[in-house]
Amino acid sequence: MRAVILDHTGPVEGSVLRVEEIDKPIAGPGEVVVKVLTCGVCRSNLHMIEGDWIEAGVPAFLPIVPGHEVVGVIDSIGPGVDWLHLGQRVGIQPLWSTCGHCEYCLSGEEQRCQDKDITGETVNGGYAEYMLARALHCYPIPDEIGDVEAAPLFCPGITAHSAVFRASLAPGQRVAVFGIGGVGHMVLEFAALTGAEVIAVTRSDIHGSVANVLGASQVINAAEVDVVDAIKTMGGVDASIVFAPSDEVVRQAIDATKPGGTVVVGVQVDLGRFIFADEKRIVGSVIGPRHRMNDVLKLAAQGRVKPVCDVFALEEAPEVLDKLKHGEIRARAVLKI
């Protein structure tokens, strides 16, 4: 099969990725082999490829196949799997597998499992014609959702949905979304479903235009105005959700949020000075568990959320990642295999 291979980490412009023929995987007990139809391209892929997470043990091995938001059809089934069938269309998210017996797995917060595997980081991912998947972590996809639009639901979709859930929004409240990229544009959509007023904050004209299309009540260009002053002029926000990987931006979000409000952070940042007397709540958020993934698919099938996608071929993965690095992707790039 054809696959995009990462041999060694380094700048994505430096030809660290190659497309070559490798052996097709074989399904073992509890596993399936999926023929990949589409795979989203995530900034996390870029971080791994460029070596930003080596100290954290990512990638777990080299060479590796990146990609963790995958749509495909089941090509073969291993022993012990009787609830999926050949030819069935399924999706795979970053949470490739979990232990199933720790306190987090048993309480429905399995994304916190300390013995998990991450698709495309600790196991081979979806930048390929076929990939191996754990059957318990495959999600049947409703017919109403197309292959291209389905792929981003398995990372930006579940990540955005979980972040909005943790913000505890309600009708009549106001929320600011910082960073309108692959995840942030879906945060706008899920936040709007709560009935809250949604403000988009971005430095990018491309992302600002996406936010306007998705119905943000206001788009603040952080390159042109003082974000905190602009939001405080409105009376502040009840919650902020941050998907811009910037220490400065997360501090803006904290300052713009009203006392007693919630700041949800989905990126690695240094929070800096924190004024405890304002009783603001800072919450981390990462992907989400299986039950929430199914909620995302239901909402998408109903047409209530839809990712904004640009489509590319598998062989274009290096060029797509370069575009992502330089802010040239509208929202989410998807590889069509």
pLDDT over 90, % of the chain? 97
Give residue 131's pLDDT band: very low, low, confident or very high (50, 70, 90). Answer: very high
Confidence of residue 328 (pLDDT cuts 50, 70, 90): very high
- Region 258-276: mean pLDDT is 94
Give the confidence band of 267 by pLDDT, cuts at 50, 70, 90. Answer: very high
pLDDT at position 306 over 90: yes
Determine how many CB atoms are found less than 10 A away from the CB of residue 158. Answer: 31
User: Lowest mean pLDDT: which of 1-10, 238-247, 268-277?
Assistant: 268-277
How many Å is the Cα radius of gyration of the chain?
20
Tell which residue, 253, 261, 297, has the closest CA to residue 278: 261
User: What's the pLDDT at 127?
Assistant: 98
Would residue 44 be called left, alpha or beta, if left means φ above 0 and alpha means ψ between -120 and 50 degrees? alpha
Coil, strand or helix at 170: coil
The structure tokens 């970053």 sit at: 94
pLDDT at 270: 92
The pair of three-digit structure tokens given for residue 221, joined into one six-digit string:
């260009």
Residue 14, pLDDT score: 87
Q: Model confidence over 156-185: pLDDT tens digits?
A: 999 999 999 999 999 999 999 999 999 999
The model's pLDDT over 193-230, given as tens digits with 9 standing for 90+, comes to 999 999 999 999 999 999 999 989 999 999 999 999 99
Residue 15 confidence (pLDDT) above 90: no
Reduced to 3 states (helix: H, G, I; strand: E, B; else coil), residue 91 is strand
Give the per-residue pLDDT at 143. 98
Confidence of residue 272 (pLDDT cuts 50, 70, 90): confident
**Complete domains list, the chain, with CATH:** 2-155+287-336 (3.90.180.10), 157-284 (3.40.50.720)
Q: What is the pLDDT of residue 273?
A: 86
Tell me what pLDDT residue 215 has. Answer: 87
pLDDT value, residue 31: 98
pTM recorded for the entire structure: 0.95
pLDDT at 20 exceeding the cut of 90: yes
How far out from the chain centre does Cα 227 lie?
Answer: 25
Residue 284: CB atoms within 10 Å? 11
Distance CA 320, CA 337 (A): 14
State how far Cα 282 lies from the chain centre: 20
- How much of the chain exceeds pLDDT 70, in percent? 100
The residues near 267 (Cβ < 8 Å, ≥ 6 apart) are 179, 242, 243, 244, 245, 246, 250
Average pLDDT, the chain: 96
**Tokens 């989203």 label which residue?**
40
Res 240 pLDDT > 90 = yes
Would you call 118 helix, strand, or coil by DSSP?
Answer: strand
